[in-house]
Structure 1
C-alpha cells in the first residue's frame, strides 16, 4: 500500500462533513477537512430543529427511535468536548386547526409508537398567550434545536488547532486518482468523502444522483412580548432563540434555485405568522438556503459504483441535524469495518442511473 498523508479527505464542513469528521476522529482515523467559508451553506441557514413527529398527519420521523437518542448523545458529548452550548431541548407546541384535527391527533396519541413523543402533562396553551390556539394543542417532547453556526464554528476551530482543517476553494477536477487512493494539492489520501450539500450537483463524480434541491427561506423577528421555551409548529415553525427573538420558517420553492431572499417568500411567511401569533413583532432579518433533498426523501450515502476510493455523504434534506450523527456513525462503520449500509440510504439503489 502506498503511504498516505491522511486516510480520509472530507469535502465540505456543513453538518454532514462535520459529523463524519467527529466520528472518524473518535475512531482514531486520520483525515483532513476542506471547507470554503466564502460559499453559502444550507447548514448555516437551517434553524436546526429536531422534531420526532412531523407533517399534518402527525407522522413519526423515519428511524426516530434510533436517531433521536443517538443525536442527543452526540451533541451532548460535543458540548462537553468543546465547552460550548449547542443543544436546546425544547418542546414543540402544535395548536389544533379545528375540532376535527384535535380529535384526530388525540386519537393518534394512543399509538404506542407515537405516545413516547407526546407530553403527558395538560395542554400548555394557556402558558403561551401569544399563540392563537382556540382549539387547544398538543405538546411534542424529545424535540428541540441545535445552534448549527455555533456548532460548526467551534468544530472548525478545534480541527484547525489539530491541523485537520484546510480553508480552500475546492474543484473536483483537482482530484487525481492514484494507485489505491486519491491525490489533492500534493497530498495523498486513501478515500475522499464528498459532503458538499447542494454543490454536489456540480460534482462530476456524483451529479448523476437524483437530487431534487429545494429552496427555503426563514425570517428573524423581534416580538413585543417575552417568549416561552416552546417551538410553535402549525404549517410553519416559530423558534424562540432569545427572550424576544424568533426564527420563523420555512418556505419551499424550486425556481429559481438561488440563495437570494425574496419579498414573495417573506410575504408568504408573514401571512402564516400573523395567523399563528396574537402579538406584534418587527421583522429584523431573513435568510435563504438550498436544501440538498432527494427524490425518494432518503439520504445519498455510499461508495462510487466504479471507484472504491470515492464516496458521498449527502442528501440529508430538512432533517439533517438528526440524520447526520447517526448516519455518519453508520457510514464510518461501513468505510472502516465494511459493515453493511442501510439499503434505503445506500446509493447502490441508484447505480442504474450511472450505468444507463
Structure 2
C-alpha cells in the first residue's frame, strides 16, 4: 500500500474548492489545493447574491430552509477565522410592475412556506427617490450577498500560510491513478477532488456529464446620489456594494462561451437598468463569467463510476453561494463517514451516460 503524503488533492480554488477544503480542514484532514490564478473563474466575477425567493412566480429556492441557515453559519465562521467580513445581509426589494402583480404577490405571501422570507414591517423599504416603484414593492428577507473575491483571496492566503495551497497549472497527464492512491508530481494522495467549474468540460474523467454552461455579464456602476443597502430585483439585480457603487446583472447567453464582456450584453443590461433607476449613473466596468450549470439545474457531486478515489464537486450554477457550503459538508460526510449523498445531486443519476 502506498505511503500517503496528503489525504486529498483539491483541483481548483473557486468557491467549490474553497468550501470543500475548509470542511476537510475542519475535520483535521491533510489537504493540498492546486490553483492557477491566471485562469478565469466564475467565482471571481459572480455577484454572490443569495435569494430565497426567485423568479416571476416567487418560487422558494430549492432546499432554502436547509441551505440558507447552513450558509449563514459557514460564512460567519470562515469570515471570523479569516478576519474579514464576507457575509452581508441585505433585503431584496422587488418593485411591482403592475397592480395585478401586486395583488398576485401579496396573495402568495400568505403561503406558510414563503411568509418567513417576506418582511412584515409596516414601514418597509422606500426606494422611490431613486427606483421606479409606482405600485410599491415586496421586501424579501433572509437574503444578501457574499463578497466572493475577498473570500477567495483571504482563503488562499490562509491556505498558503498553512502549506495547503500550491500555485500551478494542472495538467491531467501529470495525474496517475492507482487502486489505493493518486499521484501528482511525485506527491501521493488518498483521493483527488476536481472543483474546476467550467473547466470540467475538458476533464476526461467527467466530461461525459451533461454540463450546460451559461455565460453571464455584470456591470459595475457609480451613482451620483447615494443608494440604500437594499438589493433591487426586477428582471435584473442592482446590488449596492457601497453608497455610490452598485453591481448590475446579469445576462444569460450561450454563444460564444468565452470570458469577454460584450457591448451587446452591456446594452441589454442598460436598457433594463434605465427602466428601473431614476438617478444618473456611469458605467465603471463590465465583467463576464461562465457559470458551471447543469441541464437539470442540480449540482454534479460524487465519485467516479470506475475510480473510487476520483471525485467531482461541480455544477453549482447560479446559486453556488448557498449550494457550496451545504453540499461540501454532504460530500465530506459521504467520503469520510459513508453518509449517502442527496440522490438529486449525486452523479450516479447519470452513470448510464458513462457506460453506454
Q: Does TM, scored on the shorter chain, surpass 0.5?
A: yes
TM-score band w.r.t. shorter chain: over 0.9
Residue 295 of structure 1: aligned partner: 295
Whole-angstrom distance in 1 between the partners of 2:246 and 2:202: 34
2: distance between equivalents of 1:39 and 1:48? 19
Distance in structure 2 (CA, Å) of the matches to 1:138 and 1:334 = 39
Aligned counterparts, 1:86-125, within 5 A = 86-122=86-122, 124-125=124-125
- SS state at 2:121 partner: coil
1:190-339 matches, within 5 Å, as: 190-339=190-339
Kindly state the Cα deviation for residue 33 of structure 1 after the two structures are TM-superposed: 0.3
Deviation of residue 2 (structure 1)?
Answer: 2.1
Cross-structure match for 1:51: 51
1:127 is displaced (CA, Å) by: 4.3
Q: What residue in structure 2 maps to residue 186 of structure 1?
A: 186
Over 6 Å off, 4+ runs: none
1:62-116 deviation digits (Å, cap 9, x = unpaired):
0000000000000000111111010100000000111111111100100000000
Task: Report the CA distance between 1:117 and its aligned residue.
Answer: 0.3
- The answer to whether the Cα contact below 8 Å between 2:127 and 2:133 also exists between their aligned partners in 1 is no
Distance 1:93 1:201 in 2: 36
Matched position secondary structure for 1:126:
coil
Query: Contact 1:2 / 1:179 at 8 angstroms: preserved in 2?
Result: no
Task: For 1:126 and 1:9, locate their aligned partners in 2 and report how far apart those are by CA, in whole Å.
Answer: 49
Alpha-carbon RMSD across the aligned residues, in angstroms, is 0.8
Normalising to structure 2: TM-score of the pair? 0.99
Match of 2:166 in 1: 166
- Deviation at 1:123? 6.0
Deviations 1:180-238 (A, max 9, x none): 11100100001100000000000000000000000000000000110101000000000
Residue 179 of structure 1: how far off its partner (Å): 3.7
Distance 2:111 2:87 in 1: 28
Q: In the alignment, which residue of structure 2 is the partner of 1:9?
A: 9
C-alpha separation in 2, matches of 1:55 and 1:171 = 40
Greater shift in the superposed pair: 126-135 or 287-296 = 126-135
Long gaps (5+) in structure 2: none
1:322-352 deviation per Cα after TM superposition (whole angstroms, max 9, x unaligned) = 0000000000000111100000000000000
